[in-house]
Each structure stands twice: as C-alpha cells, then as structure tokens.
A and B are shown apart, each in its own frame.
Chain A
Amino acid sequence: DAGVTQSPTHLIKTRGQQVTLRCSPISGHKSVSWYQQVLGQGPQFIFQYYEKEERGRGNFPDRFSARQFPNYSSELNVNALLLGDSALYLCASSLLRQSNQPQHFGDGTRLSIL
C-alpha cells in the first residue's frame, strides 16, 4: 500500500507570493494533519482535518489555511509568504481523528522563501 504522498517535494518562492501544498493520505485514513518543521526543531502542528472539517488549529497566522476533499486528500495554502515560512511542511494521516492515533508522515515539501 502506498504511504502518505506529498507534492511538490521542493518549492522556491519569493516573499509575498502564495503557495499550495498537496497531500494524499494512506488509503482508508480519514484524518490529515499538517506540520511545519524548521531545521533543528520538532514538527509544529498547523491543522488537523477529519471528514472535511477542521478539527484542530495550531498557533499560526491566518495566512495559513487548509482544506480536505471528499477523497480525504488535503491542501495547505500559505499567503503573503515571509522569509520565516521557509521550512519542511509535513503532512500526516491517521485512521481516526483522536490525538492518540499514530501519525503516518509523508516525505514533506521543502519550501524555501527568497
């Protein structure tokens, strides 16, 4: 079975631009979470979506938004990019919505802001 897939793998943007990152969960997993991982730090929770609804939100500005589609895939959008948004963006899926569920991570999208 395929794992969590993310696209693109790498992205270079300039300040002020907008970006959309995509994630397909493991087949059968209904929960998708997004994390930001800055070099040398642990993943920071951004959003959780379950059954197409937002179920959790981390301490990120409104420039960050996401959605989940009927097939449980998800997109993360970031507007008005700042230099500090440079990071590895990880998508994780789990079977259920509870936070005690093991997270299955994709390879991530490495976003660089110039």
Chain B
Amino acid sequence: GQQVMQIPQYQHVQEGEDFTTYCNSSTTLSNIQWYKQRPGGHPVFLIQLVKSGEVKKQKRLTFQFGEAKKNSSLHITATQTTDVGTYFCAGPVQGAQKLVFGQGTRLTINP
C-alpha cells in the first residue's frame, strides 16, 4: 500500500539553529498536508500544498512540494523553544477517502 516516510525520526538542535524535515511518498500525491503535535497534545493542521514545486511560507516556516509531487519538506529558520513538537506530513490515498501520515520528526530544542 501507499507509504509516506519521514526523515529524520528525531532532531535535536540548539535554539536559533535551523531545522529541516523531509517527507517522501511511494506514490504521486494530489496534495500534501503538514501537522504539528506538541508533547501531550493533538495534531494541529499547519498547511496544505497542492501544486507541483509549490513553496509556501509561514513566518519562520517554509514548506515545499516537490516537482514530481512525491516529496515535501518543512524548514524552520532560527528555531525557538515554541517550535518543540513532532511534525507530520500526510497525503491522501488515491481513490480512497483517507490520509496516510508519516511517522513524524520529533524536534527537541536546547535553550
């Protein structure tokens, strides 16, 4: 079945350093969504990318969707302690009403 993989699984950075997580799908995606889950919390929708090669920014966060629509990345510039959490990408299964989530990248930050 369709798989969505994320790397790295864990990332520990010093506050102020940059952070990037990568997402790869085994199939072409019609869109990709990104979510953030704080420790002890629930996933919160961040953004959706639809177009090939699309780049979107939210303050210090930059999201990219690959040209082949099979990969995506999230880059955080100058991390802050509020960025701590697990970042998930998710893509829809073709022909089915469901989302497949990656296993997430857990970000921890040393203040």
Contacts and interface: CB of A to CB of B under 8 A. Distances in A.
Interface of A: 33, 35, 40-45, 48, 50, 55-59, 90, 97-100, 102-108
Given A43-B88, A59-B1, A99-B92, 15 more contacts: A35-B101, A45-B98, A45-B99, A57-B98, A58-B98, A90-B42, A99-B96, A99-B97, A99-B99, A102-B45, A103-B43, A104-B45, A105-B42, A107-B41, A108-B42
A44 B4 CA distance: 12
Q: Interface on chain A toward B: helix, strand, loop, or mixed SS?
A: loop
Contact of B97 (A41, A42, A48, A104): A48
Contact of B43 (A43, A48, A55): A43
A99 B48 contact: no
B100 interface: yes
- Scoring B45, B48, B98 by chain A CB atoms within 10 A of each residue's CB, the highest score goes to B98
Contacts of A33: 98-99
A102 B48 CA distance: 8
B103 A107 contact: no
Contact of A42 (B31, B41, B101): B101
A100 B92 contact: yes
A97 B104 contact: no
- Scoring B35, B43, B92 by chain A CB atoms within 10 A of each residue's CB, the highest score goes to B43
Contacts of B85: none
B93 interface: yes
B33 interface: yes
Contacts of A99: 92-93, 96-99
A56 B96 contact: yes
B47 to A, nearest CB: 9
Nearest to B89: A42
A44 B101 contact: yes
A58 B93 CA distance: 11
A104 B4 CA distance: 20
Contacts of B102: 42
Nearest to B86: A42
